[in-house]
Chain A
Amino acid sequence: GENVEQHPSTLSVQEGDSAVIKCTYSDSASNYFPWYKQELGKRPQLIIDIRSNVGEKKDQRIAVTLNKTAKHFSLHITETQPEDSAVYFCAASNPGGGADGLTFGKGTHLIIQP
């Protein structure tokens, strides 16, 4: 099955600086890569996703890049703000879908220092 590794487990950055979270996956058949943000005590929410036919996707201060050859993808947050503090999860999904389809990384706790 798919294995998703996520680094770092904790990331502390100064407000206004950029943050980068990296993930690698093992199954070359995976073709869908979402990122979820989970604030303390709340549910995970999708913030951005990318499919394997695209190398980069951007939404305001958030961008995701995908390198299919190397089997890694990254989340970039620019001009970080206090409300960006949360746990971020990457995930990878293969075309099979269902329970076998989506595997999550172990999460990155992003801390924005004022």
Chain B
Amino acid sequence: DTAVSQTPKYLVTQMGNDKSIKCEQNLGHDTMYWYKQDSKKFLKIMFSYNNKELIINETVPNRFSPKSPDKAHLNLHINSLELGDSAVYFCASSQTWENSALHFGNGTRLTVT
């Protein structure tokens, strides 16, 4: 009965491919996020989305696009994958837009070869 679930857990693909990672939360939270954790463990926010407003971190390449069919889902689509995209991607949700605890999914380890 996972609160924030993301699939797949592992994703191995070649450069140039397009891939998607799915995320669902059953907590009834208003806001969802995507974070990237690199090899040095640094957690960097990519997107936040609260059903009406999408905020994109300006450093995220436009090859990355979030798609939210409804409040409980925020999927991540990546075009033209590059070696530097290899990382662990975490989906998260929070009850409100402002200053509330993040609940993370278990992560998707993306390896681009």
Task: With both chains docked as a complex, state the minimum distance between the C-beta of B57 and any C-beta of chain A, in angstroms.
Answer: 6
Q: Chain A contacts of B99 at CB under 8 A?
A: 31-32, 51, 93, 95, 97, 101
Interface size, A (range): 20 to 34
Q: Given A98-B48, A101-B98, does the pair A44, B104 have CB atoms closer than 8 Å? A: yes
Q: A43 to B96: give the CA distance in the assembly, Å.
A: 20
0/1 string, A23-65, CB within 8 A of B gives 1: 0000000011010101000111110010100000000000000
Interface size, B (range): 20 to 34
0/1 string, B96-112, CB within 8 A of A gives 1: 11110111111100000
B98 and chain A: residue at smallest CB distance: A97
Q: Is the CB of B98 within 8 A of A99?
A: no
* Number of A-B contacts defined by CB within 8 Å: 65
* Interfacial residues of chain A within 96-114, with CB under 8 A of chain B in the complex: 96-102, 104, 106-107, 109
**Of B15-23, B38-46, B67-75, B78-86, the one with at least 4 CB within 8 A of chain A:** B38-46
Q: A32 to B43: give the CA distance in the assembly, Å.
A: 17
Residues in B lying within 8 Å of A, measured CB to CB = 31, 33, 40-45, 47-48, 50, 53, 55-57, 90, 96-99, 101-107
A46-B102, A97-B98 are known contacts; what are 14 more A-B pairs with Cβ within 8 Å? A31-B99, A36-B102, A38-B41, A42-B106, A43-B106, A44-B102, A44-B104, A46-B103, A96-B98, A97-B31, A97-B96, A97-B97, A98-B48, A98-B53
